A and B are shown apart, each in its own frame.
Chain A
């Protein structure tokens, strides 16, 4: 076992223990019942304890191994942020912006997670994916999502319309296009 593996397993075991403890804590107020009439808390609590034990075993076994040189790989922060962010953005904005614009955003954002990203290819990829998906999911399959959403509509009362309206009025505080 190399030192990196050792460190990794110690951390892994600790995380497993934390997850087990978390489930045990949240599930502590569930009714255990008895072995013969198990309550909703029986299974979760037993499994949480097993989980903690497994975490202990993983860390313990790793600690027993001799120490070696240490080393670590850096986390790909840009990728993590952009890709997880792209998914979160989708969830957040798909109903408001509609499928086509939100997909443009998702593809563009995630494309930038790659070191090979280039503006022209990213934009055409985003346009292609958005066009294909809106055709397939909205036209063919009837997924209940708008092509472009209410945030982009110019009807009365919609946020965009309000932004446009408020731009003409003085004394309006705060951005209307909130969240």
Chain B
């Protein structure tokens, strides 16, 4: 491709990035305002809305729930997703093609339909309490990441190394843990991170699976917004953006951010 960019195209792209980043800057500004209502540019500078987050018990409680659900759901999805990804790559020609399609289904089915159906069949239909339902729902929601991102790592893994270890008498599980896993480490970490952030941010599935006393942070934010329109929400948003920064740092350190364009 030519390396010269027409100035008009360059200007357009600059405007697009302004469009993408300005709203986030506005949130940061609004979170620092010393007013009782949301405004930008901030009037007076104050960190009191950040302090206010910690005064509101519901935010603390739902943040903990969100973290627990994201950790457990992601761990569960890796626990069942990594073996599936391994089999799909190791026995590629022998396994039926529909099997790999099956693990993409959670992307294909609208999340809101999935959340509603899960509530109907599992939470109410089978009487499963809300908390484990949330974990199962999130595990399934992020399963495609576990299978596909780890799968992408496995695709470039040379299985003859594994055969060498096994033919020298190394038992299968130990071979997997000491030979295969170190080679796909970056993929597993990236899958974990992408799944984790998807779970933390999820609304469509969680909105159906909140019960008495149990809710996730994004759902709590939505509920708070319906009653109060003060800078607290902006402060919570800033904290969530800091989580995003951390996540990006981890992706960059493991696979590199350009991985996301593949």
| A and B from one complex | no
Q: What residues of chain A have their CB less than 8 Å away from a CB belonging to chain B?
A: none
